[in-house]
Amino acid sequence: MESIGGKDGKGGKKIKICFVLQIPFIKKARELCADRPLKLFASPWSPPYWMKDNGKFNESGALKGAIGGQYYDAFAEYIVK
């Protein structure tokens, strides 16, 4: 799995969240929908904590830096991947 970001720059937190929290639910949904196609929709609720000005995972915070700056570019890449 390719990942960008993470506090250590290697995406470790993102990978853990995918494998521990999300993938088991996707597998179960596929099992329950075995007779028809499974459609998924994913959307980021907010930037990852390491891109937020308050550095917190579950509290509101703005994207770090100036509009169009490095964090805006990184967040756009994060969403696309």
Question: What does the pLDDT look like over 11-60, one tens digit per residue?
Answer: 556 666 667 778 888 899 999 998 999 888 777 778 888 888 998 877 78
Query: What is the number of structural domains in the chain?
Result: 1
Domain containing residue 54: 12-80
* Distance between CA atoms of residues 25 and 62, nearest Å: 30
Whether 1 is in a domain gets the answer no
Written as six digits, the tokens of 66 are 């100036």
* Distance between CA atoms of residues 49 and 37, nearest Å: 34
Q: Is the pLDDT of residue 71 over 90?
A: no
Rg, the chain, Cα only? 15
Whether 4 is in a domain gets the answer no
Whether 6 is in a domain gets the answer no
pTM for this one? 0.42
Whether 44 is in a domain gets the answer yes
Whether 5 is in a domain gets the answer no
